[in-house]
């Protein structure tokens, strides 16, 4: 990736988290990154294209985290799933609890932009699909009830996480995330016999 494009995309995540899409000023972005306006339009068609590419870069980070956490077969499947969310929670803390880019943009834009609505729903669905694979392993090991629809359970986890991430952002505190994870994993685990 061209260095200018990479610099612009790298600056986009914190700016979109802090300001949202509508309040993201291109002039401020260009000033913060020392990029001429023409260079921006060389790499991006418009602000929408830019934000969508920032989402793609964000999802590359998410996929790396999913792969690292869920792919560690030396750990229990439910521990692997939880470790992914704990890793994400740590990134929120570093960012000052600004929350999930997908959740923030989804709340801001889903009612006015089909492009963003579809993009963000697709990203959340991919995350749930990855989680479902690990939850399937937990079913096989008897940690989750055998008749569980793991895809629905994974969707529920993503839904609960996004709600807790919003509350975490509002409160600037991890407590909502911690409580949600504790509740979810207590609820899904089959009691030891």
Q: Output the domain CATH number for residue 13.
A: 1.10.357.10
Does residue 183 lie within any of the structural domains?
A: yes
Does residue 193 lie within any of the structural domains?
A: no
Whole-model pTM over 0.85: yes
SS3 assignment, position 141: coil
- Yes or no: say if 35 and 74 are a contact pair by the CB < 8 Å rule: no
Does residue 20 lie within any of the structural domains?
A: yes
Alpha-carbon gap, residue 117 to 119, rounded angstroms: 6
Residue 164 has a pLDDT of 95
Per the structure, the complete domain to which residue 183 belongs is given by 3-188
Q: What is the Cα gyration radius of the chain?
A: 18
Residue 191 has a pLDDT of 67
Say how many domains are in the chain: 1
Q: Record the tokens describing residue 147, joined without a space.
A: 């008749």
SS3 assignment, position 176: helix
Mean pLDDT by runs of 10 across the 193 residues of the chain is 91 91 93 92 96 96 96 96 96 82 93 95 97 97 96 98 93 93 95 54
């Amino acid at each position: 990736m061209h260095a200018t494009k990479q610099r612009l995309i790298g600056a986009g995540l914190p700016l979109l988290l802090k300001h949202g899409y509508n309040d993201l000023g291109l002039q401020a972005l260009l000033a913060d990154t020392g990029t001429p306006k023409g260079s921006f339009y060389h790499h991006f068609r418009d602000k929408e294209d830019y934000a969508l590419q920032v989402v793609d870069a964000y999802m590359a980070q998410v996929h790396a985290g999913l792969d690292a956490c869920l792919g560690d077969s030396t750990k229990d499947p439910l521990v692997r799933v939880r470790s992914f969310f704990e890793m994400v929670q740590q990134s929120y803390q570093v960012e000052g609890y600004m929350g999930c880019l997908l959740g923030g943009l989804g709340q801001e834009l889903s009612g006015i932009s089909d492009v963003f609505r579809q993009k963000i729903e697709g990203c959340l669905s991919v995350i749930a699909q990855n989680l479902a694979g690990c939850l399937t392993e937990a079913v096989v090991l008897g940690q989750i009830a055998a008749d569980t629809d793991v895809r629905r359970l994974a969707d529920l986890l993503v839904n609960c996480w996004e709600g807790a991430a919003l509350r975490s952002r509002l409160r600037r505190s991890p407590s909502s995330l911690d409580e949600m994870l504790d509740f979810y994993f207590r609820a899904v685990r089959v009691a030891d016999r």
